Structure 1
Amino acid sequence: MLWSFPIARIASTVVRVHVTFLLFLVWIGAAYWRVGGRDAAQDGVIFMLILFACVLAHEFGHILAARRYGIRTPEVTLWPIGGIASLERIPDKPREELIVALAGPAVNVVIAAVLIFGLGASLSGDTVAEVDNPTASLAARVAAANIVLVVFNLIPAFPMDGGRVLRALLAMRMSYAEATRIASRIGQGAAFLFALAGLFLNPMLIIIGLFIYLAASAESQHVAFRDGTSSLPVRSVMVSAIEALSPGSTLDDAVDLMLRSAQKEFPVVDGSGQPRGLLTRDGLIVALRQGTPTTPVLDVMLREIPSVQDWQPLETGLTILNQSKAPALFVLNRNQQLVGLITPENIGEMMMVRNIRPDWRFRPRTQEV
């Protein structure tokens, strides 16, 4: 993720920190310093670090629950507004999504219970209302913060945990797409209320409201797109009008192809029509700086490019493309010959068309390279 950097790897999941989180810690330290000097600033930063450790544990509650259903999580990123676990996919069954959504808040409940009943943290209404009060004990403030996290995350504002719980419950009685649409509308309404409250209470609520609104809109569009294209084969949306390079091509040949076409991905195909690799436009520019016009494309192309059969469901192709993070996906016929490409760009164009014309029918293409 842009502007984030890894700090650890836990159970095959990379933990990343967004640079704004560090800026947030500096801001917290400065705010506490103005109130109570160095000791207060140190106390504030320590409290925030512990709080975000609880947030990280919350996210790993989701991650471990998702792993139970065969869903991996390549990375989790810490932001000033919380953590975001990048699940490879949303659980297919409503009951599974319900368990994954509740697993995060359940971790915070356990943390609060251990601090209160195990370590004897004294909790009062004032402590919960002022979790940043340095006069209260650290254990009590952390326990109070975890209770706030539980309550906050269970607000039925999609895509927060409470919104996902709501969608899972709705999906038990209606279609997944319709459940997502209703949960997203509720989430957008809650986002508006957060932003409105932020004008009078805390500007951070405006940022949270904006995040919820954008995330709810994106999730609704994604699910609607997936639902509308679930019956389409890969060949119906692949880019079939492409030109290919041969194994004997050089960088000079690739430049000629780039200048006379609008392509950004250049497959390298042998005499039998089978792909050998892929040269992207960005990769070509880098190769031109480091090589010569006569450098073979075989020396600079990407070789580990995933592929999919043209008759397979589009959803299968999208899953492979998202998981691999590849610049393109080779589309092959039954003879393993290249007949097209699937790229993030042409998927984005398809989503744009679907958003404008949900009833648009994409017809299967049969043209080969």
Structure 2
Amino acid sequence: MKHSLRIGRIAGIPILIHWTFLLLLGFIIYSQVLRGSSTAATLAAVGFVLVLFACVVLHELGHALTAKHFGFVTRKITLLPIGGIASLEQLPDSPRQELLVALAGPAVNVLIALGLYPFVSGAAFAVPDIGRLTTAQDFVSALFQLNLTLALFNLLPAFPMDGGRVLRALLSFWLDRLRATRFAAGLGKLMALAFVFLGC
């Protein structure tokens, strides 16, 4: 992807960050200044976003390393303000392989959430306000909740999201790949329209 900066390499896979990610950090800092937050609160909010996107990298590595297990190469992982993209040179043709590769990313977020669960507060399921992470427990609780949210959101059966790929893989056990793809893509369009309607 053009206009991306390489920030490292993990398991031989280049990790890139798109320039628009800097706009997200700038927006967070600007929002904190507008609400009169302290420097510590502003740094906590920025730090939280960076840690959350580290979880996104781990999510994408889940896909990439599972694909590597089946002999598929991931050219790069790119971070965007809306998430991450693992760019595979070739997608698995086997329904079983595609199913496991698609599930691997959300599974990583579930494992992170399980690891954080013993340390979360009683308000772990409240809507997190990353601008008011006043304690370490607030930080951990928000990270716990957002990892669960990432897992569940990505499992929505809307192609080309992970859930859509899971659906296509399951359908491919009974249908040819083209019909399975058309069904999953059609459901994805219906879900997108539903979200637009609900957001109006």
Whole-Å separation in 2 of the counterparts to 1:187 and 1:46: 33
Larger Rg: 1
CA drift of 1:126 comes to: 4.5
CA deviation profile, 1:226-284 (whole Å, cap 9, x unmatched): xxxxxxxxxxxxxxxxxxxxxxxxxxxxxxxxxxxxxxxxxxxxxxxxxxxxxxxxxxx
Report 1:90-101 matches (<5 A): 90-101=91-102
Aligned to 1:187: 188
Matched with 1:166 is 167
3-state secondary structure, aligned to 1:156: coil
Structure 2: where are the runs of 5+ without partners?
none
Which residue of the partner structure matches residue 25 of structure 1?
25
State the one-letter code of the partner of 1:88.
E
- Give the TM-score normalised by the residue count of structure 1: 0.51
The CA deviation at 1:123 is 4.7
> d(CA) in 1 for partners of 2:112 and 2:129?
15
Contact 2:124–2:142, Cα closer than 8 Å, also in 1: no
Distance 1:33 1:116 in 2: 31
Partner secondary structure for residue 61 of structure 1: helix
3-state SS of 2:90 partner:
coil
Deviation at 1:9, TM superposition (A): 1.1
Report the 3-state secondary structure (helix = DSSP H, G, I; strand = E; otherwise coil) of the residue aligned with 1:86.
Answer: strand
TM superposition shift of 1:194: 3.1
Q: Distance in 2 between matches of 1:99 and 1:107?
A: 12
1:193 deviates by: 2.8
> Aligned-pair RMSD on alpha carbons?
1.6
- The structural deviation recorded for 1:31 is 0.8
Residue in 2 that maps onto 1:124:
123
Name the residue aligned to 1:68.
69
Structure 1 residues 274-310: Cα deviation after superposition (integer angstroms, max 9, x where no partner): xxxxxxxxxxxxxxxxxxxxxxxxxxxxxxxxxxxxx
Does the CA contact (< 8 Å) of 1:33 and 1:40 recur in 2?
Answer: no
CA distance in 1, matches of 2:111, 2:180: 30
- Secondary structure of the equivalent of 1:151? helix
Gaps of 5+ in 1: 200-369
**TM-aligned CA distance change 1:153 to 1:123, over 3 Å:** farther
Q: How does 1:133-212 map to 2 (within 5 A)?
A: 133-135=132-134, 137-199=138-200
The answer for the alignment partner of 1:42 in structure 2 is 43
Q: Is the 8 A contact 1:131 1:142 kept in 2?
A: no
Shift of 1:43: 1.3
Question: Any runs of at least 4 consecutive aligned residues in structure 1 with deviations exceeding 6 A, and if so which?
Answer: none
User: Aligned with 2:74: secondary structure?
Assistant: coil
Deviations 1:146-167 (A, max 9, x none): 0111111111111111111111
| Residue in structure 2 matched with residue 80 of structure 1 by the alignment | 81
Shift of 1:38: 2.2
Q: CA deviation at 1:198?
A: 4.6
Q: Does the 8 Å contact 1:12/1:74 carry over to 2?
A: no
Cα distance in 2 for partners of 1:180, 1:29 equals: 41
Contact map agreement 1:30 1:41 (CA 8 A) in 2: no
> Which position in structure 1 is the counterpart of 2:13?
13
The one-letter amino acid paired with 1:124 is A
**Matches for 1:177-326 after TM superposition, within 5 Å:** 177-199=178-200
CA shift in 2, pair 1:123/1:105, >3 Å: farther
Change (3 A) 1:89 1:105: same
Count of matched residue pairs? 196
